[in-house]
Amino acid sequence: MVTVIGRRPTSLPTQIPTTTEGVTREDIERTVNATDSEDALKYFPSLLVRKRYIGDYNHAILSSRASGTGNSARSAVYADGILLSNYLGNGVGGLSFAPRWGLVTPEEIERVDVMYGPFSAAYAGNSVGAVVDYVTRMPTRFEAHAKVGLVAQPFELYGMKTTYRAWAASTSVGSRDGDWSWWINVNRTDSDGQPLTFATRLASSGVTGSTGTAVTGAVAGLNSANQPWLLLGAGTQYRTAQDHLKLKLAYDLAPTLRASYVFGAWRNEDAGVRAASAGHDVVMCPEQHVYLDHRQSPDPGEPIPVGEVHTLEDVYAYEPALSGARLRGVQAQVWSEHLDSARRVDYMAFPRLSAFAEVAWSSGSRDYAEFLPRLRDHHLPRLDALGVEYRPLDGPHPWQTRPGVPGRPR
């Protein structure tokens, strides 16, 4: 018996006046030591992923010749037609809005296609730079994969000499039974990246003081303008641990029609505890608890709902996963890329910021039932007097809603 398998030469439109490039699974296995999905793009012409170290989860944005790293939203990344790009930010201010690369693993890639330039109405205006489409596969019989990778990076600069290490482990298993097929992948990456910036001070900017504790260790040098300066230490150094779980199910309704379901979970652990154990002082500000730009309730009336639900009670109940001398404080965040006015910032910050103040400034146990009357009877009138347009305890005012704006809830 002879089996003939036909495959599309590309997943992208072909009858258009533009340049396309593609690589197959076999190409990737032969030419790329892919530790993650963005590595599959390594040798595409006129395409760059700004990946600074293994496990770079917040700055690995895509750029092309038509749209550099200053225009990260001018490209589109898909996996089986599902958008992976994050358009909540753009350019230098949006470097923390990288595509969700972790939702595709190298083992499941069938092919990757790239279309350069805005030449197809099949894609939105964000495709002005490039469109990347990952086509993943389903197994035709039982298969299992396991992979472990280790990296050691010697680093010697400005009097500092050390070695940074990373490791990644991945396992996949899948099979097919009749018209049903399934695929499960679990992987973990633990990476200690090299310093990306250095704190400096011009030698002419100050003199030695007569008070305080004298310290040593600064490295003298010249900056790009040939001015004497001191390099005080390393900055922007990331220790990151990422876990990823993916499940795919598919049922072939007909030879040319398939129904599929994909579930993916991705987590980047907060590194505060590990940093403290390594001797660093830490300020805890985890997204899972104290990002106040996240929506305040599951009510669809919440204006431009973004992220996970962090209710007033959730914020009040937050306890840092760290204590002791290395914990220097806690911090709440309000990212404003979707907050278009001071009124919207007021709405998202208050009264949750009042609850967070008790987390930061109180000691011992706290009682939400005791806190609520104090907030309602004493503090909210103060906010009214100051003109703060906070979110009422029973939900937004009609003029605070944004009906029809879907947001990006998780």
- pLDDT tens digits for range 250-287: 999 988 788 887 776 655 545 555 566 666 666 777 77
Taking only the tens place, the pLDDT of each residue in 23-49 is 998 999 899 888 888 999 989 998 888
Closest by Cα among 15, 365, 392, 34 to 187:
34
CA 334, chain centre distance (Å): 16
Residue 99 has pLDDT above 60, yes or no: yes
Residue 389 included in any domain: yes
3-class SS of residue 239: strand
Q: Kindly state the DSSP code that residue 194 receives in the 8-state scheme.
A: P
Say yes or no to pLDDT of 64 above 80. Answer: yes
Element (H, E) at 263: strand 257-268
pTM of the model: 0.61
Q: What are phi and psi of 90, to 5 degrees?
A: -150, 140
Beta strands in 137-179 (DSSP E): 143-157, 160-177
Q: Is the pLDDT of residue 9 over 80?
A: no
In this prediction, residues 175-199 reach a mean pLDDT of: 89
Q: How many CB atoms lie within 10 A of CB 242?
A: 18
Residues 238-245, mean pLDDT to the nearest whole number? 81
Rounded Cα–Cα distance for residues 318 and 298 (Å): 19
Q: pLDDT at residue 161 above 80?
A: yes
Of the candidates 353, 357, 356, 393, the residue with the CA atom closest to the CA atom of residue 373: 393
Could you tell me how many helices (H) and strands (E) the chain has, helices first? 8, 19
Q: Is residue 394 part of a domain?
A: yes
Q: Which two tokens stand for residue 402?
A: 């944004």
Using CA atoms, how far residue 287 sits from 56, 87, 146, 296, 357, in Å, is: 17, 19, 31, 14, 17
Q: Is residue 68 part of a domain?
A: no
Q: Name the residue among 64, 70, 98, 63 with its Cα closest to residue 84.
A: 98
Q: What are the tens digits of pLDDT across the range 131-142?
A: 999 999 899 999
Within a domain: 400: yes
Interval 372-403: pLDDT, tens: 999 999 999 999 998 899 999 988 888 888 87
In angstroms, the CA 171 to CA 183 distance is 11
Domain membership of residue 345 as a residue range = 271-410
What CATH number does residue 356 fall under? 3.20.20.80
Q: What pLDDT sits at residue 191?
A: 87
Is 160 part of any domain?
no
Q: Give domain status of residue 294, yes or no.
A: yes
220 strand-pairing partners: 230
Give me the pLDDT at residue 94, please.
47
Domain assignment of residue 235, yes or no: no
pLDDT at 269: 46
Please give the tally of structural domains in the chain: 1
Q: Is residue 385 assigned to a domain?
A: yes
Give residue 154's pLDDT: 93
